[in-house]
């Protein structure tokens, strides 16, 4: 197998087959078609990762490539960024995860330079951002040093994912596990590189999903997990039913069941994660109580009374809400149906219409869930908090929504796309800054790069007093009847001449056809997006009435009380709008990121239908445009496409120059200068920095790589030829000399052996012939050796074929005449030895067994059909242990010393009903036991005899003297161990002569002088039944081989 640690250049030789793994080396870097063709070529070979410098492009394959395992993590630990490509081996086309390479290099750069870093992960919903974030977090959990305390921190970091996914992710039309919030997570490391803490920031949770979902979408996962996976007791305590269709907030999308989601398993994972993160029982109870209250709140309905005011339709759901939120039900009822106004010192209640009440209900549901989510993030941060106040370095993970363009784009898309504008602005600034710093460090002149500066778009959105957000806030806050259309009119008034803003009124005739009257269009860095202003005012206000906040603040549920602090109700200032809050949080995020070194992951969807291996060119082109990948590539290619340290460049390409091959003894920079001079690089094609060579065009590098590949094969062929010739000639000489020597020695030895062998054979043959001719005479010199041969041959044959048992009388070898007497003596000795061994091998237990078997044989041999089959079956000491005998019955007979016991079936004397019993032989009597009762005791002296048939049945009849009035008559019993039981009876009671084997019917006596008969017969199936003549008929199967 090829070494998986191929460097960047090692992949260049396969570029025609699997594409360029770094877009910076793409010759036609300005061509979007060339960009897409390279992505598609790699995707078709399951190479889903490609670099643009240090930026990583990841294409979701929608199938498992088995690349996220411990082996791959080990490959990337401590390896330079370009030492391993984004795939393992271009020869075997095995894909590896470049997430690990990027994460590992960020980690080791942080340790080496002791500075802070962040990894920005962006892309459309369903492109794999959440999975990428989890894989990077898992990599840090595995690769960092370990201890008991650190393992706790890392476990909590990893377990925060399933919790935040449950509360912040939902199924959308594009993705079954879409993050509906932005997440930035700082992982804190100490000077040893150990993960010691973390902190999470969340952005713009999609609270509107709590109260409304489009068809084919779901609410947040946690609601379905609670309904489907919650324990019966918990669901009952929360007043819920095990059906999502019962709840308005869950039934709107009509897809509560999703094939790719297992809510029951996810519930268990989330509950376990809460325990790992150190949530106590009280926290969890209150948290799920809040989640359940949202579901109940959605089922609170209103109707109009005679005056058009809202009144509650049923109180059951509201009582559950008040119970779960620990608020007064009457106060809550009033807050949902009346608005409170303060007029000087008086409070006035104004009744709601049904629409107002529904708005208040939904606003409360969104506020409860959104604030609980923020509380949850803060609670996780407390568990991840690092207690050591010394300075720490951090690596941040930013999993943020990508550019969104839908058929209808609303307030959420406006905020998300504004976020992407800010990140693109930051992205270009940091990329240019990193490029400029590297050029300055290497002493290369910096050439200004022309690029689209999207500051004009950011200012259009966020500029104070003049931006779109400022105009939106002004409309939300001004008195009077502000609507979405008045907001649009204000935009047209203030932005009318802006080149990146257009509306239906401001557009020319051709553009006006594509715009509705309630739309405005922004020309973003990634393209045009049309926004519908409907809902902008309401969503930006996110209004929750003050009296509802007061009700929530007075809750006895500590989570609700924390989520609605008293400062809100006491303050008379209007809270900041959603857009302003989002703008401020983005500015703080930008400040955080600007203070760190950047790393980027751009995630792309390969197709909309999640088809494995399908590459949709149009969709991918759309994402490449909106993610600004071509712009980033243009910035990276504005100077030099390729740069490498002198040592690395010289080590690889030194075979191309005679002056540097095979060893360069001087300074690496001078060796590289000699090398590029020999290769004929033109002055404008490269620059020599302080520690690196910079090559401007990929074609220059490709030509060098192709020359190296050709040279490598030529060098290998020359070395192989020389070495093989040298080895072959030396080996030939040694073999020739050795063969000559061996041949001479062998021939001489074989000739001498042949002469001696023939002389010996002549003598032996002569003696053998003479011995055979005189074999009948007395022993002489001529026949002594022949007779010795005959004796030895016979004894050898006898040794190999000795009888193995005493019963074997036929295998003894027939002796030659001279050994007849000797053979007989040996035969007797051998059989005596076999007998002796057999006797010595018999144990006392075996001897007792054989003694009993002898008694059995004396009684039954030749008399009962089933006897031969019983011979090899050993007898047991007893068939029922004392533990299996009822303790009361045992106490009654224990003093008589139990000798043997066996389970039997006793047949009634009249109706012949079978009854299971235990038959126990003691030293003095026979006992028939049923559970705690001793049904019958028969002294051995009262036993006249025992009779059984000659067939293969297991029936035995005990004939009993009926002088004792307690005795009811003879006993008819069936025993599976008949031979064993009767033999034991003979030994214990000395009744061998009393046992009889009888052919035909057997008569038995009953109390009162009555008689009965047991008939015996043979049939295909064994059975016992009462015949019409009143006899007991026992049918047994025919025993073969009698």
Task: Return the structure tokens found at 698.
Answer: 């990929």
| 692-695 and 971-974 beta bridge pairing | unpaired
CA–CA separation, 554 and 560 (whole Å):
9
Three-class DSSP labels, 491-542: HHHHHCCCCCEEECCCCCHHHHCCCCCCEEEEEECCEEEEEECCCHHHHHHC
* Residue 909 · residue 1012 · CB < 8 Å: yes
**Short-list 393, 449, 439, CA closest to 109:** 393
What are the Cα distances from residue 328, in Å, to 311, 322, 333, 858, 932?
18, 6, 9, 96, 65
**Sign of the four-CA dihedral 966, 969, 975, 980:** positive
| Placement of tokens 């759309």 in the chain | 622
Q: Exposure of 945 by Cβ count < 10 A (0-12 exposed, 13-18 middle, 19+ buried)?
A: middle
What is the spatial order of strands in the sheet that 914-922 belongs to? 933-939, 925-930, 914-922, 898-907, 971-974, 955-960, 943-949, 995-998
> 883 CB contacts (<8 Å, ≥6 apart)?
none
Distance between CA atoms of residues 861 and 948, nearest Å: 13
Query: What's the token pair of residue 550?
Result: 């007061």
Peptide bond into 662 cis (omega under 30): yes
**How does 135-147 read in b/e, with b if 16+ C-beta sit within 10 Å?**
bbbbbbbebbeee
- CB 325 within 8 Å of CB 552: yes
| Strand pairing category for 117-123 and 393-399 | parallel
Beta bridge partners of 921: 900, 926
Please measure the distance between the N-terminal and C-terminal CA atoms of the chain and give it in whole angstroms: 71
**Beta sheet of 527-532, edge-to-edge order:** 501-503, 519-524, 527-532
Q: What angle do CA 541, 547, 548 make, to 5 degrees?
A: 70
Count of all residues that appear for the chain in the document: 1042
Query: What residues act catalytically?
Result: 125-126, 130, 175, 178-179, 402, 404
Closest CA to 672 of 685, 690, 660: 660
């Amino acid at each position: 197998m090829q070494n998986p640690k191929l460097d960047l250049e090692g992949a260049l030789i396969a570029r025609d087959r699997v594409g360029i793994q770094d877009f910076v080396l793409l010759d036609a870097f300005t061509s979007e078609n060339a960009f897409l063709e390279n992505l598609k070529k790699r995707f078709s070979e399951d190479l889903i990762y490609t670099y643009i410098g240090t930026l990583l492009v990841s294409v979701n394959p929608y199938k498992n490539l088995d690349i996220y395992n411990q082996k791959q993590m080990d490959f990337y630990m401590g390896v330079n960024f370009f030492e391993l490509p984004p795939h393992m081996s271009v020869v075997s086309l095995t894909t590896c995860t470049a997430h690990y390479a990027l994460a590992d290099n960020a980690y080791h750069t942080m340790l080496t330079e002791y500075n802070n870093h962040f990894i920005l992960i962006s892309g459309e919903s369903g492109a794999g951002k959440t999975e990428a974030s989890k894989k990077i977090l898992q990599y840090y959990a595995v690769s960092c040093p370990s201890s008991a305390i650190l393992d706790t921190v890392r476990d909590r970091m990893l377990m925060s994912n399933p919790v935040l996914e449950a509360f912040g992710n939902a199924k959308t039309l594009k993705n079954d596990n879409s993050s509906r919030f932005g997440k930035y997570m700082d992982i804190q490391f100490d000077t040893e590189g150990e993960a010691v803490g973390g902190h999470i920031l969340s952005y713009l949770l999609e609270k509107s999903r709590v109260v409304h979902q489009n068809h084919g979408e779901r609410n947040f996962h946690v609601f379905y997990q609670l309904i489907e996976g919650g324990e019966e007791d918990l669901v009952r305590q929360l007043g819920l039913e095990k059906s999502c269709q019962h709840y308005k907030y869950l039934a709107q999308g009509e897809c509560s069941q999703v094939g790719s989601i297992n809510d029951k398993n996810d519930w268990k994972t989330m509950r376990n994660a809460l325990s790992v993160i150190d949530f106590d029982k009280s926290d969890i109870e209150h948290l799920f109580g809040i989640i359940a209250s949202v579901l109940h709140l959605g089922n609170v309905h209103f109707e109009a009374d005679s005056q058009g005011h809202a009144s509650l339709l049923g109180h059951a759901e509201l009582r559950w809400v008040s119970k779960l939120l620990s608020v007064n039900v009457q106060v809550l009822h009033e807050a949902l149906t009346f608005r409170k106004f303060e007029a000087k010192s008086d409070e006035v209640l104004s009744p709601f219409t049904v629409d107002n009440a529904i708005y208040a209900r939904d606003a409360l549901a969104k506020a409860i869930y959104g604030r609980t989510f923020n509380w949850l993030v803060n609670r996780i941060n407390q568990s991840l908090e690092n207690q050591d106040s010394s300075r720490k370095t951090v690596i941040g993970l930013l999993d943020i929504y990508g550019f969104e363009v839908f058929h209808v784009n609303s307030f959420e898309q406006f905020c998300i796309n504004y976020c992407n504008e800010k990140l693109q602005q930051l992205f270009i600034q940091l990329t240019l800054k990193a490029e400029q710093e590297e050029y300055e460090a290497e002493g290369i002149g910096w050439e200004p790069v022309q690029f689209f500066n999207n500051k004009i778009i950011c200012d259009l959105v966020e500029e104070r007093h003049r931006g779109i957000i400022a105009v939106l806030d002004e409309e939300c806050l001004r008195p009077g009847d502000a609507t979405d259309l008045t907001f649009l009119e204000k935009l047209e008034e203030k932005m009318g001449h802006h080149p990146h803003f257009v509306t239906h009124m401001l557009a020319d005739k051709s553009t006006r056809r594509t715009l509705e009257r309630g739309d405005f269009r922004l020309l973003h860095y990634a393209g045009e997006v049309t926004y519908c202003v409907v809902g902008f005012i309401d969503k930006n206000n996110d209004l929750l009435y003050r009296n509802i906040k007061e009700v929530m603040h007075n809750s006895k549920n500590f989570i609700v009380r924390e989520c609605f602090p008293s400062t809100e109700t006491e303050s008379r200032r209007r809270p900041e709008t959603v857009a302003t809050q989002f703008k401020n949080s983005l500015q703080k995020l930008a400040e955080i990121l600007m203070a760190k070194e950047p790393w980027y992951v751009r995630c792309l969807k390969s197709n909309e239908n999640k088809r494995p291996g399908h590459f949709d060119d149009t969709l991918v082109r759309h994402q490449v445009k909106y993610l600004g990948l071509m712009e980033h590539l243009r910035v990276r290619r504005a100077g030099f496409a390729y740069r490498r340290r002198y040592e690395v460049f010289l080590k690889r390409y030194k075979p191309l120059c005679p002056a540097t091959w095979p060893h360069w003894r001087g300074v690496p920079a001078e060796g590289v200068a000699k090398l590029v001079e020999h290769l004929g690089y033109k002055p404008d094609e490269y620059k020599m920095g302080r520690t690196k060579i910079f090559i401007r065009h990929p074609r220059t590098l490709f030509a060098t790589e192709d020359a190296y590949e050709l040279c490598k094969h030529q060098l290998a062929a020359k070395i192989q030829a020389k070495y093989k010739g040298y080895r072959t000639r030396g080996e030939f000489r040694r073999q020739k000399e050795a063969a000559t020597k061996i041949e001479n020695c062998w021939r001489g030895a074989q000739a001498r052996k042949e002469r001696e062998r023939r002389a010996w054979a002549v003598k032996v043959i002569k003696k053998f012939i003479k011995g055979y001719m005189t074999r009948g005479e007395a022993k002489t010199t001529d026949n002594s050796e022949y007779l010795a041969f005959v004796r030895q041959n016979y004894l050898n044959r006898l040794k190999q074929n000795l009888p193995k048992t005493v019963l074997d009388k036929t295998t003894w070898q027939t002796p030659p005449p001279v050994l007849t007497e000797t053979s007989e003596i040996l035969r007797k000795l051998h059989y005596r030895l076999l007998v002796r061994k057999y006797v010595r091998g018999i144990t006392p237990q075996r001897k007792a067994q054989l003694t009993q078997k002898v008694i059995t044989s004396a009684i039954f041999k030749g008399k009962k059909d089933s006897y031969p089959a019983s011979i090899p079956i050993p007898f047991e000491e007893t068939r029922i242990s004392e533990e299996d005998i009822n303790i009361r019955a045992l106490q009654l007979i224990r003093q008589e010393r139990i000798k043997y016991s066996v389970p039997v079936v006793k047949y009634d004397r009249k109706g012949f009903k079978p009854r299971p019993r235990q038959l126990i032989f003691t030293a003095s009597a026979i006992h028939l036991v049923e559970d705690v009762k001793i049904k019958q005791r028969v002294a051995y002296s009262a036993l006249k005899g025992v009779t059984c048939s000659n067939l293969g049945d297991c029936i035995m009849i005990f004939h009993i003297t009926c002088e004792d009035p307690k005795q009811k008559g003879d006993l008819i019993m069936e025993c599976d161990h008949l031979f064993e039981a009767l033999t034991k009876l003979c030994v214990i009671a000395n009744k061998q002569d009393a046992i009889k084997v009888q052919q035909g019917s057997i008569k038995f006596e009953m109390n009162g002088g009555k008689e009965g008969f047991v008939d015996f017969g043979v049939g295909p199936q064994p059975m016992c039944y009462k015949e019409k003549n009143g006899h007991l008929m026992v049918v047994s199967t025919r025993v073969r081989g009698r």
